Structure 1
Amino acid sequence: MKTKASICLTGGAGYVGSHACLALAARGIKPLTIDNLSTGSRDAVRWGPLVNLDLRDTERVTEALINYNVDTVLHFAASAYVGESVSDPLKYYDNNVGGMLSLLTACAAAGVKSFVLSSSCATYGIPDNIPVVENEPQRPINPYGMTKLMCEQMLMDVAPLTDMSYGILRYFNVAGADVSGTLRENHDPETHLIPLTLFAAAGWTSALKLFGGDYETPDGSCIRDYVHVSDLVHGHILAFEHLRANGGNLTVNLGSGQGVSNFEIVEMVERVTGRHVPVEIAPRRKGDPPVLVGNTSKARELLGFVPQRSDLATIVADAARSMGLEAAHAISA
């Protein structure tokens, strides 16, 4: 017997996926989560049913989509460590591309009507122009970015044959935590810069390791575009509402549109927490472009996407609060 749960999130037990579940629940929607819990947490699935299975199990994924009467899929599940993708590319092609192949097969069999793909700015590689617009040539420089590009192409090839509309959302660097404190960023191992900087500020690690201090940037460190996780998931909600309203397929960047250097992250964490951050400069990491900042005007025009919490002070303050590191004093925007 079919149950009422028309939206499915793959990877809903992970960082971004669980925040998306929370945001949907606030709108009265109880999404289905499909997650194998290899990196996600069962405790993070609180706002709808969980089906614990691997996306590469096509038959069981199809069964779940049919049983829960799913018409919209938000696809978050993926291996997402750039460094690991360089050292173990087969894992990334197996999980990311293999998982996408299986999921698209299941969606076709189950009659899914809308598909929103979590893609990445890593598909651009080292762009010719900053900020990056969506028609910038896509030349990934690491296997992670290549798998995301392949997933984009698979979706564009398959969707027209299955009467499925799609949205491709190219993330920039996701950070922060839900303002209520219900959820936080919690990877194992943690590789993201802002939580690692907070770990160093708290004394939970001996020092923050920054990869490269000799880039051709104003302070020698990498520059990235940071978007608050709550703004990012709001972008997903806008995207699936756009598709359900027959607004047409779309491919957009989701970011803040502002570049922030690694050293500026360190300075902001010290300012927010009132704690010193010991820093160790390590050699550059293979696969890291010097600068990645997105142009988000297309998302604003098509979806009305306007980030509300993606200034650096708010991102760091929300992340610090979620880890029990209260702000030392008020931070002005």
Structure 2
Amino acid sequence: MDWTDTHCRVFHRLLAPDARLYTEMVHAQAVIHGDRRRLLGFDPVEHPVALQLGGSDPGHLATATRIGVEWGYDEINLNVGCPSDRVQAGRFGACLMKEPALVAECMAAMRAAAGTVPVTVKCRLGVDEMEDYGVFLGFIDTVAAAGIDTFVVHARKAWLQGLSPKENREIPPLRYDWVDRLKTERPALRIVLNGGLGEVEAAVAAAQRLDGAMIGRAAYHEPYRLHLMQVALFGGEARPRAELLRALRPYVEAQLARGVALKHISRHLLGLFHGQPGGRLFRQVLSERATKPGAGWDVIEAALAATDPACA
């Protein structure tokens, strides 16, 4: 949330032409009552792109789904895996794993509203003391009975009390074996693995033995890895970082002409040279100069000039 806006997704589409992109989680009520152009607008190059919703009211989720379909999204996804306090207070996210019947009701309403557009779920293995594969399988079966065949599974459970969202991404142990077992026992379902897949080899292995791999913060903080995953899974030659970034120039200049400040785009580029010689200077130039009024493409060229030519 607050990270993957349309500028980020356009950049990621350049890096990974064959990936399916997801929005940040947007609450159904925000979709219904908020600024839809700001919340839902996206560039055509982003396709295929999924709208991820949060919420627990079947009627609201159905309405938000219809709106998402009208805006042209290729998939509508319900997040029942986010463990933050703010999400829990609104009775959505991971706490809904305790209420599989309600999730099934929500998904049935969304599916009815979506027409031919796929509706999917992102979930955890469980929450709090739930430490039973059978309970997890029961959740999947209950939701699948509502006509849902695609599940993105973050292969950790979530602690709703005592751990921050960051800790919930790191402390509960990963249980890939549960997800592999789920695919074996429910082969008709499409199962996508999420969690701990920041390394290219891990993501490729998951995508090859299951039905896909979802990459979150690793793709954001080290976006070049996303490009390497694209190459490993779909072929072709890896392109240099600078070449990829310069391919973004027409989009950046079009946005600047519309009055978008460079800082709103450049913040998504900071990790492109992560771990490379000159990477710190690249981030520094962008961070310091992109925030100035009237900043333009020359700032990005100056940042590129600060990197080691061998890495660019």
Give 1 or 2: higher strand fraction: 1
TM value normalised by structure 2: 0.38
Give 1 or 2: higher helix fraction: 2
TM value normalised by structure 1: 0.36
